[in-house]
Amino acid sequence: MNISTTTGLVQGVGQAHAKTILLGEHTVVHGTPAIALPLPALPVRAVARVLTSGETPLAAPDGQFRFSAGDTPAPAGTLSGPRVAVEEALRRWGLADARVDILVDCDIPLARGLGSSAACAGAAVRAVADLYGRVLDEGTLYDLVQCGEQVEHGRASGIDASTVLAAGPIRFHEGRTRPLAIDMDAALIIADTGVPGSTQRAVAGVRRVLEADPARARRLLDRAGELIAAAEDQLATGRAEELGATMSRFQELLAELGVSTPHIDTLVSAAREAGAFGAKLTGAGLGGCVLALTTPAAADTVGAALRHAGAAQTWTVTTGSLAADVPIRLDSGIGTHA
C-alpha cells in the first residue's frame, strides 16, 4: 500500500529477506538441484518515491543505501543489480521516463553469500510497484530480480532470486522451485567470515575448473547430485547427523571447485571440533559465510567456537522454525535480530 505522508509525498514500500544455501551452490549453475532456506529474520525494507525534476537525493542515513533509477545518471558501485531490476520494471510498465529515489534499509551483511543483492532488488521492485500501484505476480517479480542478478553474478542460476522471495525452504532446479518438507530437530549456525566474497569471480573460477577437465566435471557434478538428493531425504526424515556428514562432503567438493579459503577451512574445522555434525561454506565462497549443523543444545557452544576461531558474527536458526509461515529467530554474536 503506498503511503501519503503529511507533506503530501507519496511513497511505496517493499520488503524481502536473506537466504542461505544448504547444499548445491555453484553446482546449481551447472544443472544440479539445490536446497535453500529463507531467513526472514534478516530483512530488507525499501521505500520508493518519485524524484521531482532537478532534485538531487540526499545522502542515505547511516546504515542505509540510496539509489536512483530511471532517467538519472548511473551511480557508481553498490546496488547496481537492484538498479537494473528497477529500471527493467519501469521499462516494462511504460515508465521509462520516471525518476525514482529508493532508500534501502538492509539488515543483511553485503557480499556474504546471504542474498543481499537479490533481496535488495526484490524489496526495491516491490516498493516501486507499490508506488505506481502495479500488481506484481510472483513470476514477474522473479524475472525482474533475475535481471539484476545476471549483472551481479555473471550467470545467475536463479536460486537467490527464488529464495529471497520464498516463504519457506525450497528445492530449486533449473529455474523451478518446490517447497521442501523439513522434519528435523537441529540448529544451523551461520558464521560470517567478515570477508566479502565476489560471486562473479567465484562463478567464473568454477566454470574454468569444470571446463578444464570435462570427465572430472561430470564426476563432481554427479557426486553433487547424489549428495543433494541424500540431503533432501535426511531433512525430511530428521537424520541430522547424516545431514551434517553430507554437508561436510559437499564442502570437500566445493574446495575441489576452488571456492574455499584457509579462513573458511578454519571455521569449518572449528565447528566440527566443537561438536557440529558438519559444516560447509554457503553461497559463492571466497569469503562470505560458513554454515554448521548441530543439536539445538550445542548451538551456543558451536557458535562460540566459530567466533573464537575468527567469525565476525554468528546467527542461529533452528530447523523447526524453517517451515513456511513460522517466524525464524536469529541470534548474532554482536547483537540480536528477533
Q: Which residues are catalytic?
A: 160
Question: What is the H or E stretch that residue 131 is in?
Answer: helix 116-131
- 287: contact with ligand PMV by CB under 6 A: no
Could you tell me which stretch among 176-184, 196-204, 220-228, 301-309 binds ligand PMV (CB under 6 A)?
196-204
Rounded to a whole number of angstroms, the minimum distance from the CB of residue 197 to ligand PMV is 6
CB crowding 216-230: b at 16 or more within 10 Å, else e: ebeebbebbeebbeb
Residue closer to ligand PMV, measured from CB, 22 or 102: 22
Instruction: Please enumerate in sequence order all residues whose Cβ is within 8 A of that of 325, keeping only pairs 6 or more positions apart, or say none.
Output: 167, 168
Smallest separation (angstroms) from ligand PMV to the CB of 86:
19
Question: CA-CA distance, 266 to 268, in Å (whole number)?
Answer: 6
Name the nearest CA neighbour of 184 among 118, 239, 105. 239
Residue nearest ligand PMV (C-beta atom): 283
- Give the span between the Cα atoms of 164 and 296, in whole angstroms: 25
42: nearest Cα among 15, 23, 60: 15
- If the CB atoms of residues 68 and 157 are measured against ligand PMV, the closer one turns out to be 157
235 close to 320: Cβ distance less than 8 angstroms: no
- Residues binding ligand PMV: number (CB under 6 A): 17
283 forms part of the interface with ligand PMV (CB under 6 A): yes
Q: Does 14 bind ligand PMV (CB under 6 A)?
A: no
Give yes or no for residue 199 binding ligand PMV (CB under 6 A): yes
Q: How far is the CB of 26 from ligand PMV (least distance, A)?
A: 5
Q: How many CB atoms lie within 10 A of CB 8?
A: 6
Minimum CB separation from ligand PMV for residue 199, in Å? 4
Q: Find the binding residues for ligand PMV in span 218-257 (CB under 6 A).
A: none
Contact call for residue 115 and ligand PMV (CB under 6 A) = yes
Query: What's the half-sphere exposure (Cβ side, CA atoms, 13 Å) at 263?
Result: 17
- Residue (32 or 234) nearer to ligand PMV, CB: 32
Binding mask 16-35 for ligand PMV (x = CB under 6 A): ---------xx-xx------
Q: Measured from the CB of residue 158, what is the shortest distance to ligand PMV in angstroms? A: 7
* Gyration radius of the chain's alpha carbons: 20
Side-chain half-sphere CA neighbours of 191 within 13 A: 33
Q: Which of residues 118-157 bind ligand PMV (CB under 6 A)?
A: 153, 156-157
Cα–Cα distance measured from residue 7 to residue 325, given in angstroms and rounded to the nearest whole number: 36
Residue 193 in contact with ligand PMV, rule: CB under 6 A = no
Nearest residue to 89 (alpha-carbon basis) of 115, 66, 123: 123
Return residues touching ligand PMV (CB under 6 A): 25-26, 28-29, 113, 115, 153, 156-157, 159-160, 197, 199, 203, 283-284, 288
